[in-house]
Amino acid sequence: AGAGRERFPAQSLPDLSIEAKATQPLAALSRFLDDFPGRVLFTAESAGRR
């Protein structure tokens, strides 16, 4: 990495699909967050301020 650049360890995610019709639609995400020992960063795409 050059000056001002960082390299962060990354890995592929398991299937975290939302099961819209399930009793707990975010169960896969919840299990992942419970089991993952590291930090998690959420990002979202946005149309921006209007």
The region of weakest confidence among 3-7, 15-19, 23-27, 29-33 is: 3-7
**What is residue 1's predicted lDDT score, i.e. its pLDDT?**
57
Pairwise pLDDT comparison (20 vs 2), residue with the higher score: 20
The size of the chain, in residues, is: 50
Which residue is listed with tokens 């967050």?
A: 33
| Predicted TM-score (pTM) above 0.75 | no
Handedness of CA 14, 17, 19, 25 (dihedral sign): positive
